[in-house]
Structure 1
Amino acid sequence: MLIRYRKEDFSAMEHFGGVSPAWPFSYEEFEPWYSQAEQLFRVRGALGEDPTEPFHSIPYAFKPVPDEAPIARARAELKGLGLHPASLPLGVDIDTWLREGRTGWDAFPNTGQGKMDAQTAPLAAALKDGNIRLETGCHVEYLEAAPDGKNIAAIHYRQNGEAKKVSPKLVILSAGAVNSAVILLRSPSSDGKGLANRSDQVGRNFMNHNSSAMLAIDPRRRNDAVYQKTLMLNDYYLTDGKGGKPLGNVQLLGKIDGNMLKANVKTMPKFALDYMAGHAVDWYLMCEDLPDPESRIMVDGKDIVMQWRRSNMQSLDGLTKVMRENFRACGYPIVLSRPFDKRTPSHQCGTVKMGDDPATSPLDPFCRAFDHQNLFVVDASFLPNSAAVNPALSIAAQALRVADHIRKVELAA
């Protein structure tokens, strides 16, 4: 799911739970990098279907993955309510995907090269360069600052259990929103707060989308779609549909089966769950979680402590209510929903945020640490807000933007 943040997400936006902060630059400045990322990941999509879709300087290079019959019917039903269902932008070669195995579930690496993920798209291309070497079996333990603290002098890691260190010219930390913060917090520093943490914001502002699964079930109609994840709805992204505050994004899940339901509803007979799954269209409701300094990742010895303070739950409640009404109006007599809790990671981000002020942000707008000239942190941790769409494309676009900056400025010096 490679969806752009909406233009409005780059500005401060008021939500039921508070204000989502602005980015340190505009959508217009960032847009070319979105286009490059879409080309790199061979994104399939369509313009003109979604009224919230921001300006694209380059159209999608590939047509969207087509709806299978049950999903085409759901699209038509939602249109009949005056809504604007749109094709979900996907980085997937659907023919290769289905040739390798007729599965609709997308939450796993696809070794048949059907899924355009970090390995099959940018990493595979990068490894063709003789100047790049990938070290495997490694676990980074901490970074070591130079005596004056202005640079990172070494990366300490274990490779297959053996302690090693390397001292590169530039250090680019991309361990994810949890582990990038953990590595910085565990790194020795003169003040004991870890590295890149003059602002005391490393590990703080942890965000994780407020989300629910929703099953729209019609016992009279079987859903035999294999890859159903081709549709999204953003009619409630910028308002609640009545001119009020934003709710969020709705998109299809990969096809759920009885085994998945059994893991969460252990007391119901398997045959009943199989029947339910076979007659359901499975949706994912996603709402913005707002940054809070007390929502944070911490370390306690060898343990990682996640103190997640959920926010803006009124948006998820509102989106759940309105979509339940919509699906019933579409002819689904049974609509079930279940929110995800902290056991289900939903796009964790925000723990080493970028900004313009070193007093309040660890990173500058090019993801360089204010405290260490040769340290960049480029993963979901840099995001100043979570928006209400999948963040993967925004992370990839920023990575391309940062790489261009490093090539033109840092390596040219």
Structure 2
Amino acid sequence: MVNEYYDIIIIGTGAGGGTLARILAPSGKKILVLERGTFLPKEKANWNAQEVERKKRYQTSEVWFDKQGRPVHPYTHYYVGGNTKFYGSALYRFRERDFEQVIHQDGISPEWPLKYRDFAPYYAQAERLYDVHGQRGLDPTEPPCNEDYPFPPISHEPYMQQIHDALKNKGFHPSYQPLGIKLNEVNRFLSACIRCNTCDGFPCFINAKADADINGVRPAMVYPNLTLITEAKVLRLHTSVSGREVKVVEAEIAGQRQMFSGDIVVVACGAINSAVLLLRSANDQHPNGLANSSDLVGRYYMMHKMASVAVMSIKSNPIAYPKTLSINDFYWGEKDFAYPMGNVQSLGTISEDRAAINGPPFIPKIMYKAINNRAVAWLLLTEDLPDPNNRVRIKDEKIFLNYTNNNEKAFNRLIKRWNQVLKSIEPFSFYLTTKVSLEAVGHQCGTCRFGEDPKTSVLDLNCRTHDVDNLYIVDGSFFPSSAALNPTLTIIANALRVGEHLLARLNCDVQGYQLQTGQAA
């Protein structure tokens, strides 16, 4: 029995679903948003490293499996806002060349069916909608843009400014990270953000992070035509007899199966869970999974090559918010290496608690106190090349990530070169490099790639499935390649782009939609 009928059903409230809800809400259409989690509780534990990192208080308890059948404990979160509740708010535009075919040492990054110019206006809207701070003209790889960031860059703290200056003196081009936080450095009384040391990797206790909950879902909830149901896990999508449209969305709510139907169904569960939902929705018309005539649902899974480099100086340099520096001098390679290497960006604070939790057990506790005032961490990102054998699959209701590393030579070179650069700045420092494991799924993308040919893609250019007329996907699933930058702003921009298409399909005023995004900043 179907509970109620809606014009639009959105499944998931992360960067894609939360943004789409925000943009469609003013349309007056009857909208249902289903989220498997609840609102993340505001509590002291939000800023407690022991609770967040050691006890994994907010991380899902789900267990997935790798290709050998070994357990994977995914670093993912089921709350309103999704993983953006815990992200570092780094909101980069992809480079113009990222949308073209790029030759890597270990393979090819394919051309996108749409180009940077197609995403550019939506990037601008996304930056306004998510309060992005930054400065144009410093990074030689940045794509063309005719307007400034909505807000000025987040200033470097003194020690980070020293690193910035040292890099510049050596001929590099350090720039500010584009960050979505609600910080006003001119007038602290107007600033929601207090520039604390528990931002990157933590939920924000004071709602000062521009995440999909605060900037997407909550503004959408003021409209009476939008209904949000939390703790609603969608189990399956049921199609018509022809298989050409989704007729019913089946969800589990408070232990009960409930059915909803709508004219348009939008899946935004994250690249892994969106693929899983389609695979679990197999039926007679779609025996290999819903919208999977191409056999590509779940394939081309990408997660970025990621490593952290922790640097401990002999000097005391207390820092509260170091996540402000970005370096792209190695993005497209260097003089004696003609292949892309990737992005370098500073990470959040390595507090005494965080160091003790993530450090080797043999280090005395007193050392972690010293680390607190001397350490800076860096995140290194290299493009994860699309491989059809890197895939999400299900077996006996279990989720498997079949994944094999690639692009290792460029990745290892970036790590080596960045360590060399750091040592040239502070030769007497101590360095610890850690490669990120399969459990780090925060940058997941690629499992339902978009394109013009139904044989080589799952989605069309508007992110509607080729096989099912009323089914869309608006998370990182649509990426044909991963580039070497945080994917969130591209997911947000695409949700705005698809939102414009959906408004036109529903005969809504697209001009009004554009005004709404302009007002949101």
Answer whether TM exceeds 0.5 for this pair.
yes
Shift of 1:344: 2.3
Quick one: which amino acid aligns to residue 35 of structure 1?
A: A
- Is the 1:2–1:90 Cα contact (8 Å) retained in structure 2? yes
Deviations 1:362-393 (A, max 9, x none): 10111100000100000011111110000000
In structure 2, the partner of 1:81 is 170
1:279 counterpart residue number: 374
Q: Is the 8 A contact 1:150 1:371 kept in 2?
A: yes
Offset of 1:269 from its aligned partner? 1.4
Residues 1:228 and 2:322 aligned together: yes
Distance (whole Å) between structure 1 residues aligned to residue 403 and residue 269 of structure 2 = 19
In 1, are the aligned partners of 2:276 and 2:393 still within 8 Å (CA)?
yes
Alignment of 1:266 with 2:361, yes or no, is yes
Superposition deviation, residue 180 in structure 1: 0.3
Match of 1:161 in 2: 255
Q: Does 1:177 align with 2:266?
A: no
Q: Partner of 1:399 in structure 2?
A: 495
1:411–1:311 Cα change, 3 Å: farther
User: Percent sequence identity over matched residues?
Assistant: 36
Contact kept? 1:32, 1:57, Cα under 8 Å: no
Normalised by the size of structure 1, how large is the TM-score? 0.96
| Conservation of the 8 A alpha-carbon contact between 1:211 and 1:346 | no
Q: Which amino acid aligns with 1:154?
A: V
* Match 1:143 to one of 234, 237, 248: 237
Which whole-Å CA distance do the structure 2 matches of 1:168 and 1:223 have between them? 56
Q: CA deviation at 1:81?
A: 1.0
Equivalent position to 2:130, from 30, 37, 41: 41
Distance 2:133 2:504 in 1: 31
For structure 1, which runs of at least 5 residues remain unmatched after alignment? none
Once the two structures are superposed, residues 1-38 of structure 1 have per-residue CA deviations (whole angstroms, 9 ceiling, x without a partner) of 10000000000101122001111111112100000000
Give the distance between the partners of 2:362 and 2:103, measured in 1 at CA. 42
> 2:485 matched to which residue of 1?
389
Q: Distance in 2 between matches of 1:145 and 1:232?
A: 46
2:73 aligned partner: none
The residue identity in structure 1 corresponding to 2:393 is: M
Equivalent in the alignment of 2:207 = 113
2:5 corresponds to: none
Q: Paired residues, what number?
A: 411
Q: Which letter does structure 1 place at the counterpart of 2:477?
A: S
Contact in 1 for aligned 2:318/2:372 (Cα 8 Å) = no
Picking from 348, 369, 388, the partner of 1:254 is 348
Q: What is the DSSP-based 3-state SS (H/G/I as helix, E as strand, rest coil) of the residue aligned with 1:359?
A: coil
Is the CA contact 2:193–2:209 (under 8 Å) kept in the aligned structure 1? no
Task: Identify the residue that residue 151 of structure 2 maps to in structure 1.
Answer: 62
Is the aligned partner of 1:328 residue 2:417?
no
Aligned partner of 2:441 in structure 1 is 345
Helix, strand or coil at the partner of 1:134: strand
In structure 2, the residue corresponding to 1:169 is in which secondary structure?
Answer: strand
State the 1:410 CA deviation.
Answer: 4.5
Unaligned runs of 5+ in 2: 1-89, 185-190, 510-521
1:19 aligns with 2:113: no
> Aligned residue for 1:361?
457
Q: Distance in 1 between matches of 2:257 and 2:131?
A: 39
Deviation, structure 1 residue 109: 2.6
CA contact (8 A) 1:31 1:57 kept: no
| AA of the residue aligned to 2:175 | A
Distance 1:240 1:349 in 2: 27
Q: What's 2:218 paired with?
A: 124
Match 2:383 to one of 284, 288, 293: 288
**What amino acid does structure 1 have at the position aligned with 2:411?**
L
